[in-house]
Chains A and B, each alone.
Chain A
Amino acid sequence: MSRSLRYILPLLAFLVLAGFLARGLNLDPREVPSPLIGKPAPGFALTRLDDAAQTIRREDMLGKVWVLNVWASWCVACREEHPMLVEFAKRKLVPLYGLNYKDKRPEGLGWLQQFGNPYSASLFDEDGRVGIDFGVYGVPETFIIDKQGLIRLKHIGPLTPDVIRERIEPMLKKLDA
């Protein structure tokens, strides 16, 4: 019995895999509703990527609308969206902060040096604890946080000109940034 069972194992393993794939077909990798929308942004106190001596807290950010972009130097899709962010930051619509997620300090800094730094500052989240509090699914992700510190928008995946035009800008206008 156990001998012939061994030969069925590959089939069973495949069927489980096929089940996941079938489920995956019905999921859009970009569309995830966040339970955090409309809720207060989680508290954090992180050092700046470029200065380990300076700490930025959630409270420091209250009173202004700001954008938080989660990125990492190991993330390929972040390179894809980076020119968009640089362009976006040049327009100075709103303060743009980075959350440098599960990265190493020299690598993160090197990356910004190489591709340009659009961020007012990047928060250095080495172990990804804050990212988890924010419900980060994958890198890159972008959040808009309002004057009261509530999360108002979350975008998963790289920003594109369309996303900026159709989701980011209207929300910023609504929040009167």
Chain B
Amino acid sequence: MIPELGHFLLWLALGVSAVLGTLPLVGAGRNRADWMALARPSAAILFALVALAFVCLALAFVGNDFSVLYVATNSNRSLPTHYRFAAVWGGHEGSMLLWTLMLAVWTVAVARFSAHLPDKVMARILAVMGWLSFGFLLFMLMTSNPFDRLVPTPANGRDLNPLLQDPGMVIHPPMLYMGYVGLSVAFSFAVAALIGGNLDATWARWTRPWTTAAWIFLTIGIALGSGWAYYELGWGGWWFWDPVENASFMPWLVATALIHSLAVTEKRNSFKSWTVLLAILAFSLSLLGTFLVRSGVLSSVHAFATDPRRGLFILAFLVIVIGASLSLYAWRAPSVGIGARFALLSRETLLLGNNVLLVVACGAVLLGTLYPLALDALGMGKISVGPPYFDTVFVPLMAPLVFLIGVGPLARWKAAELPALAKRLRWALLVAIVAALLTAWLRGHLSVVSVLGLAMAFWVVAALLTDLADRLKPSGVVRTSVLSRARQIPRAMIGMMIAHFGIAVFIFGVTLVKSGEVERDVKMDVGDTTEVRGYTFTFRGVQPLQGPNYRAAQGTVEVTRDGKAVTTLHPEKRVFPVAGTTMTEAAIDPGFTRDLYVSLGEPLTGNTWIVRVYVKPFVGWIWGGCLLMAFGGFLAATDRRYRSKVRESAAADAKVAAT
């Protein structure tokens, strides 16, 4: 009964989204306040319906209702309860439901937290989001209904993909989808502004916190996915340039460009049509990512669900949404105007450089991801471009970008002077180069690549410190303490500094891992030892272990350094009988300056195993850097000027109500 209820709720939601997509939009065009007023309640109802449908599916999973096809394919009685809940988004249909739920969450959030927006703008924004909901709900109901029944009912389910039975995988998809779908807000703001013709600094200020919020989720989502690959796939790698990874990385690159471009539009009223285009592109890439992952056009290690009918539907949806918004852009953007002028050397130009580099990088990733497909479509055969392509193309594009990170925040708006800028930054440059050479030498990897990587990381930090020192220096005649001057720095500025610092941390981690990691595969019998980077690993054998829905061989590896015990690691090889797959569960001793990574390879004769022993210096900094970026974004998005807007308008509303 509950699955039918869920199915019915989805149909109701489809109806509500159709109302949300049409009436407020028409109302805004015809000045009908009563039609526009429908937007907010419709958004709330849409959210409630989708959320309830989601609960219905979750109940079917937790209650082991294998008469539902989707539950039977993705769950099992012996699966622990928390994974049974996470299995809701373990397959295609549930992922789409989660996607739709996230879209409803963002819609209701916009309705709730953008109370200060003019009615017309609000009605248009919510209507655009209503259309997106309509598309996804229709997609689900037509091609991937999660509530389809299975007759006859099997006694047990086929179990969740063992790769996904992991705490990282429980939160990775929701985070990533929050990010993907969050970009729909910037998209809707842009489309609404194009329809209404009111593209200005106010529009940019409204859009900024929403874009940053989506970007935060995207950043965390990508970092979680990379972390998951690191400890779950058992190869010790953290990024593979896999099409699915690229699908999440491309919107991130464009969203990053958008955040910076919005800053220019808000502060200087420039870049307007460019910013709108980026907002459209960022969400379009999210949709494209969905298409690539869900249609099976590209084969990848992630290929979860492939069905050409679904692909055709998403493609049609893609063409309608992106095609319509780009047509609207082609029609309305020429009248937007170019905004305030700026000199060749100014913060605007530097941010434009940032934008161009990020978009070109995204284009390079898109090309590498789609090139095989394009050649194939032209009948020129199939090829695969691997990491060699991406590494060669991506790094040269990122190096100048990192250089700009140092210069940009110090340059003045409108017009900056090169001598002054050079004077302020020469020490930073010197410090960065010396520190890089010194660090590389101390770690014994004095190669061009590692010095360059370290120099980039130190450059960002040194330039940041220069900026911070300038801001803390006393200025003017009024004497203030350093602390009070520090408090004067806007929260958004601190957020930017922390996010840029996160990039430095990230680059530092990547460089040291790439140059200093040791990966060794050794044949080990009980009692055998191997020494890597001063750590002695002793293999103590393998014991059988029974998990809830798997059998495992659990190895024991003792790690000592200079005779002192460091840790004992328990890597596992798990066999999932229902799913019929074997999983490698690496054991990791995470540390601030290094990770010790042990995983079991193949069993040889008797008690002898191939054991993979990796020492990865500073690998944790890669994800630490991502989290810092996300935290910086959080500070920026919660800056006072956005919060006070809400309060002001609430006060204004109260005043209006009182009179």
Contact = CB atoms under 8 A, between A and B. Distances in A.
B552 to A, nearest CB: 18
A96 B52 CA distance: 56
B334 A4 contact: yes
A27 B381 CA distance: 11
A14 B322 contact: yes
A20 B299 CA distance: 16
A124 B318 CA distance: 43
A20 B374 contact: yes
Contacts of B327: 11
A72 B311 contact: no
A114 interface: yes
A40 to B, nearest CB: 20
A76 B323 contact: no
B457 to A, nearest CB: 25
Nearest to A141: B382
Given A10-B329, A20-B374, A137 B383 contact: yes
Contacts of A93: none
A135 B330 contact: no
B465 interface: no
Contacts of A20: 370, 373-374, 377
B519 interface: yes
Contacts of A80: 301
A32 B317 CA distance: 29
A137 B379 CA distance: 12
Contacts of B301: 76-77, 80
B602 A10 contact: no
Interface string A3-27: 1100110110011011111111111
A74 B297 contact: no
A156 B257 CA distance: 38
B382 A156 contact: yes
Nearest to B291: A21
Given A7-B333, A20-B374, A21-B297, A14 B383 contact: no
Interface residues of B, number: 48
Given A10-B330, A76-B242, A116 B602 contact: yes
A139 B384 contact: yes
Contacts of A15: 323
B330 A8 contact: yes
B383 A25 contact: no
A25 B329 contact: no
B319 interface: yes
A113 interface: yes
B370 A17 contact: yes
B449 interface: no
A32 B381 CA distance: 8
Nearest to B602: A116
B273 interface: yes
A106 interface: no
Interface in B375-389: 376-377, 381-384, 386-388
Contact of A137 (B240, B295, B323, B381): B381
A25 B297 contact: yes
B377 A23 contact: yes
B308 interface: yes
B599 to A, nearest CB: 12
A12 B627 CA distance: 38
Contacts of B277: 10
Given A11-B326, A18-B319, A25 B384 contact: no
B284 interface: yes
Nearest to B233: A79
B521 interface: yes
Contact of B235 (A3, A79, A116): A79
9 contacts: A11-B326, A18-B315, A18-B318, A24-B297, A24-B376, A29-B296, A75-B384, A80-B301, A116-B602
Interface of A: 3-4, 7-8, 10-11, 14-15, 17-27, 29-30, 32, 72, 74-77, 79-80, 83, 86, 102, 113-116, 135, 137-139, 156-157
Given A7-B273, A10-B329, A24-B373, 5 more contacts: A20-B373, A24-B297, A29-B297, A72-B386, A138-B382
